Amino acid sequence: MKIARLVIGFYIAVAIVAASGVIPVEINNDFYRGDSSVWQSAAHGAKVALIIGTIAACTSLFIGTVLGFLSAWYGGLIGAMILWMATSIAAIPGILLVLILSYGMGGGIGAVFFAVGLVSWVGVYRLVHTEVLNLRGQGHVEAARSLGASMTAIATRHILPCLKPILGTQFVLHFTYAVKAETVLSFLGVGVHQQASWGRMLADAWSFGDLQNGDYTRIAVASLCLAGLILALQSRIYGHQK
């Protein structure tokens, strides 16, 4: 747990430094040939990963929580329509749908986190829907309804506090999914274009034939950065479950 916190804190510190402009990085040249420029692009990749992961995870949680609550609370036609939307999205492979949406939006950071957020809310919706159905029949919720409390008041005071552990875990899971999705999209050329990222580092290593030239620096750095962040986040989840 302590190691995971240190690793996550290190990534956040690197991302803040990269965002401040202290670490320069140049785009649209003969990409990152020296070791120093590889580490510069890795630092900027940490910034991109944290931005995309945070915004995409928040978007997924917001959409899934709102739709899950409305579906469970009202049911009927509203619940059926939301269920149809969730089933339709779940029927298409997630990464394929993210790829199509990101390409249609023209790529870039905004396209990536919006595409991931719009696709990956289904799991959150299902969990919230189930939990709200269980909470509706509990005494404190029934008492609030009998006293005339509004739906907003019941949701914010009596239901959302009970959902915090679930939403916290889902945030980390969706964060990791968004980071991995960005890496795949950038590697395929429909993700981040104008900034350095770990996926773009891997794509550049492929384009410039690093493996054929016996240069593993760029691939190793990008892979270790990605694996380190994902493992640290997963350690946080499993640590909370003990």
Q: Taking Cα atoms as reference points, which of 93, 131, 137, 99 lies closest to residue 115?
A: 99
Alpha carbon distance 85, 93 (integer Å): 14
The yes-or-no verdict on residue 122 having pLDDT over 80 is: yes
Residue 150's φ and ψ, nearest 5 degrees, are -75, 165
Section 134-142 average pLDDT: 75
Q: Is the dihedral of CA 137, 143, 146, 150 positive or negative?
A: negative
Residue 90 tokens, joined: 């779940």
Residue 125 tokens, joined: 């919706």
Query: Would the pTM of this model clear 0.85, i.e. be above it?
Result: no
pLDDT tens for residues 14-63?
Answer: 777 766 666 665 544 444 444 447 888 888 888 888 888 899 999 999 99
Residue 221 tokens, joined: 């750095």
Alpha carbon distance 152, 125 (integer Å): 18
Alpha carbon distance 67, 86 (integer Å): 10
Compute CA distances 105 → 108, 148, 170, 186, whole Å. 8, 45, 26, 14
Fold topology of 2-19+35-241 = MetI-like fold (1.10.3720)
